[in-house]
Amino acid sequence: MTSQIIGGKTVLVVDDVSFELFKTLFQDVKRRFLSSNRFGLDSYLSVRVRHGTIEGHFRREFERAGLVTRRASPGGAYLDNNKWDEYLFETGFSESIRGRVQSCLRKLSAELDCLISDLTGRYLRVTEEDEHPEGWFAITFSDVDLLYLHGLVPDANDVDTFLDQLFVALWDRTNIVLAQVREKIRGEFGDELYALLDQTKEAVEHVLDRGALKLFESNVTKCSTEVRNSLESCAHWFRRVDRWAMNDYTLATLVEAAITNVKRCYPSTSFDAIVEGDVSRLLKGHTFSWFWDIIVILLDNVVKHAGDPSQAKVVIIDDSETLSLAVSNPLPEGCDISAFGERMRELCNAAGGSTAGASVRNEGGTGIFKLNKLVNHDLRRSTSHVVFEIVEPSSFSAVVRMELKGLCP
């Protein structure tokens, strides 16, 4: 190894063939560590964080405070804020004043959704080569870092120990990045949310008199306090957890907690679900996060796509060898049953196909590719299936079925 001055900078020039081979191997391992559709960091972020979780987590505080509404349809205009329209009508404000307040609140709804979309679409991404340059997960190693690591690893003939050493280095660097992400959520993203609340309060101040404004300011203050708590709890998601230290749990605990969580994430909807079947099954603690993701994805679909989200049903079928989790709900009025059924069959076929892997890291759909990943790769089920189907003339059902062997204590 020698050093040269290039462009006014000292550059290390390595002519060691073994180092160049090590560097190539390391980059391949790093790429898989970050981008594997089955077990990579970006796949984890997509399933556990980006797929609706962030949106519901932060939006709920604004919805509880009655400050934002949702779109009338995907890509459509935001609904009127009935809470404030009714209050202002009852207190004698003119239609013109009410319209101006509605405009402020629609603007808040749109800008909040834009901030959340930026967080999930631009920042909570793995930066690799030319992809997602603004991503917060930039796991990088300089040649100096790799030279140092090259000196630590044992003889490459000992493959297991060699790979273990590489993973230690990758996780050490990832832990540093995770700490940075936590601070960015508390800091940069939090500042944007607080600024959005302040801007909305200032805009409304120019419209309402002091009496009505006092109530609005009280709601903004409550929302700001809850946003602070949400930022802190969200930051804690970005910590490594020893799943093997988690306690065993029952399906009853899992399903009840998931339903409660979805209700909290979507307080402005009528979502509710009844649970049927045997939920007494005890499962190993290390599987909790995977089963949690399965249930939450299924219930999240109910909120976003059901005709009446208050009529959801969770059915558990446990025959001691096979576990079946089914979530059903009414279809929306006017749904083209034939076209919808065909679309579901296409999705199921695609999810089981050879090109399904890359779709695991995409968001905004039904989550069926993520469900297959969770069951087949995370839970390592050799006998399983995920099916979306129409079970009655106007009812939709999503079924996840798997063998129980190895899942129970």
CB 123 within 8 A of CB 134: yes
* Region for residue 381 given its phi and psi (left: phi exceeds 0; alpha: psi -120 to 50; beta: otherwise): beta
Give the integer Cα–Cα distance in Å for 208 and 210: 7
Structural tokens at position 193? 């949310």
What is the number of other CB atoms lying within 10 angstroms of the CB of residue 234?
A: 20
**Which residue is listed with tokens 């790979």?**
163
In three-state secondary structure terms, 81 is coil
CB 320 within 8 A of CB 300: no
Q: Quick one: how far is CA 202 from the chain centroid?
A: 32
Give the integer Cα–Cα distance in Å for 366 and 295: 13
Q: Quick one: how far is CA 142 from the chain centroid?
A: 31
Q: Which domains does the chain show, CATH number per domain?
A: 1-240 (no CATH), 243-403 (3.30.565.10)
pTM value is: 0.81
In three-state secondary structure terms, 61 is helix
pLDDT in tens for each of the 409 residues of the chain?
555 554 565 555 555 777 888 899 999 999 999 988 878 888 888 877 777 678 889 999 999 999 999 888 778 899 999 989 898 888 888 999 999 999 999 999 999 999 999 999 899 999 977 788 999 999 999 988 998 888 877 655 678 888 888 999 999 999 999 999 999 999 999 999 999 999 999 999 989 887 788 889 999 999 999 999 999 999 999 998 888 889 999 999 999 999 999 999 888 889 999 999 999 999 999 999 999 999 999 999 999 888 889 999 999 999 989 999 999 999 888 888 888 888 888 888 887 654 455 566 666 677 888 898 899 889 999 888 888 988 877 899 999 999 999 999 9
